[in-house]
Structure 1
């Protein structure tokens, strides 16, 4: 392989690796709806608390999800992604 071709191959491998790494840590895509269609964040959190969730951290992700870190009704640590339009769970991890 010639030197320029070797350089391009290495650059392509590095770019692919960086792309793979960035998508490996990305959360789910929850909605494409505008924020005007979303459930109010404050009301949503109040409803989760009324259902027995303890919320330690609440945020809006780049995938347009409501994400919480906290505890579920059984007291287990959870990380949950919700669709902010429907309120349905998109992804959940329990520890």
Structure 2
């Protein structure tokens, strides 16, 4: 009983880790990053619903809903606050 449960948990975790594919923000010194609260305010003004934000080594990662109501995981350049798309 435990072995199938552990296998299922492993595959769920692996799928989450690979969910964002090949997104890479340009590297810039943290001193040049704008505050994540500025990004959150910008997105809310544009109609987004921000559920959670995370900081990766080079990006701001946003979980929420876009202006069309679609659930989304998006990455933003912390220096410019522009969205970074998959390559």
Q: Same fold (TM over 0.5)?
A: yes
1:56 pairs with one of 45, 51, 71: 51
Match in the other structure for 2:65: 71
Tell whether 2:36 aligns with 1:47: no
1:27 and 1:68 map into 2 onto residues whose CA distance is: 16
2:30 and 2:83 map into 1 onto residues whose CA distance is: 18
CA RMSD of aligned residues (A): 2.2
Deviation at 1:60, TM superposition (A): 0.7
2:22 and 2:56 map into 1 onto residues whose CA distance is: 8
> Aligned with 2:37: secondary structure?
helix
- Asked whether the 8 Å contact 1:65–1:84 carries over to 2, the reply is yes
Structure 1, unpaired ranges of 5+: 1-20
1:83 and 1:57 map into 2 onto residues whose CA distance is: 16
Q: 1 or 2 for the larger relative contact order (CA 8 Å, sep ≥6)?
A: 2
> Aligned with 1:48: secondary structure?
helix
Structure 2, unpaired ranges of 5+: 1-13
